[in-house]
């Protein structure tokens, strides 16, 4: 292998094709679905369960009202 081939192999970043984006889209969709499910479950907790979690009913309602994409867990690096 020539020096030029070695340099090119290390300096050219891996291109991310359709499979990468499809995988990331699927992962993001599953993450959003899980957030949606968790918030729905939080909304349906009893007062005793909320007390165990040290949450007020209003705090649970506020969290449950947030849209599924409104989360710090959202991964935004698509490239």
Would you place residue 10 in the very low, low, confident or very high pLDDT band (cuts 50, 70, 90)? Answer: low
What pTM was estimated for this model as a whole? Answer: 0.62
Q: How much is the average pLDDT of 63-77?
A: 75
The three-point CA angle 69-46-65 to 5° equals 20
The DSSP H or E segment spanning 53 is: none
Would you place residue 19 in the very low, low, confident or very high pLDDT band (cuts 50, 70, 90)? Answer: confident
Cβ count within 10 A of residue 7 = 10
Does the pLDDT value for residue 79 go beyond 70? no
């Amino acid at each position: 292998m020539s020096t030029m081939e070695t340099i090119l192999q290390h300096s050219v970043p891996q291109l991310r094709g359709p499979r990468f984006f499809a995988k990331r889209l699927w992962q993001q969709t599953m993450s959003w679905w899980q957030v949606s499910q968790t918030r729905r479950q939080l909304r349906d907790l009893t007062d005793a369960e909320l007390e165990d979690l040290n949450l007020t009913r209003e705090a649970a309602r506020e969290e449950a009202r947030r849209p599924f994409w409104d989360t710090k867990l959202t991964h935004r690096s698509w490239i």
